[in-house]
Amino acid sequence: MSRCVIVGGAPIRDYDRARTYLRADDFMVYCDCGLDHMDGLDRAPDLIVGDFDSHPAPDLAAETITLPREKDDTDTVYAVKEALRRGYERFLLLGVIGGRLDHTLGNVSILLRLDSLGKSAMAVDDYGELAVVSREPVRVPDRFAYFSLLNIDGLARGVTIRGAKYPLEGAEITSEYQYGVSNEVLPGGTAEITVGEGRLLLVRITADKL
């Protein structure tokens, strides 16, 4: 099955970069004012989801799910649940980071939820990529200028970083002391990150976005 791309309404300033992440067979879901990004991404929706409190109800041929304005799920969370119901295993989130902090943090939690379900998920913003490190090792090539490991989910133990300017071996990172910010991949190499217990948010920053 193809990958599901969910587009939210947070700012996207570098559409050229965002389009490099898209694939021809992606299933495109636009959430409410995420429709503002449709022209910039140059991709038509396969599905539109929203309560349309921040964007007029669209007059497009695409399948549209209209939600009530008073509900537990945000439009983006509902879109993820709908994609899961349809059987998607891989997710790319665009337009979900930046703007309102409460929306950003809520959308980061989507990555945690998808990780708990064993799904592959990544969010991309104007600066880089966000993903969860948990069961499997994750690599960071040196095309990323910096990377950070943030604890947003309890306690992470057995954190090991190799191939970076600031290595770790079996370390512990808590949510109260975020010392894993702004590490660097050794020139010409690839950093590898493993977490023995718990999970961390990995933020990879591209070199041209400093």
Q: Are residues 153 and 65 in the same domain?
A: no
Q: Are residues 111 and 171 in the same domain?
A: no
Domain boundary among 70, 104, 126: 126
CA dihedral 47, 77, 73, 150 (to 10 degrees): -160
Q: Which helix (H) or strand (E) holds 85?
A: helix 75-85
Q: Are residues 147 and 85 in the same domain?
A: no
Domain boundary among 98, 126, 154: 126
Would you state the pLDDT for residue 207?
62
Q: Are residues 23 and 99 in the same domain?
A: yes
Domain boundary among 126, 152, 178: 126
Q: Which CATH number covers residue 138?
A: 3.40.50.10240
Q: Are residues 141 and 190 in the same domain?
A: yes
Would you state the pLDDT for residue 27?
98
Residues across the chain: 210
Beta strands in the chain (DSSP E): 4-7, 27-31, 47-50, 63-66, 90-94, 120-124, 128-133, 138-141, 144-150, 155-162, 168-174, 190-194, 200-206
Give the domain extent around 141.
133-209
Q: Are residues 147 and 114 in the same domain?
A: no
Q: Are residues 118 and 41 in the same domain?
A: yes
For residue 92, give the amino acid letter.
Answer: L
pLDDT by residue, tens only, the chain of 210 residues: 799 999 999 999 999 999 999 999 999 999 988 999 999 999 999 999 988 877 677 778 889 888 877 777 888 999 999 999 999 999 999 999 998 899 899 999 999 999 999 999 999 999 999 999 998 999 999 889 899 999 988 899 999 999 999 999 999 999 999 999 999 999 999 999 999 999 999 999 986 654
Q: Are residues 115 and 22 in the same domain?
A: yes
Q: Are residues 10 and 66 in the same domain?
A: yes
| CA 191 vs CA 96, 132, 135, 138, 182: distances in Å | 26, 15, 17, 8, 13
How many structural domains are present in the chain? 2
Q: Are residues 113 and 144 in the same domain?
A: no
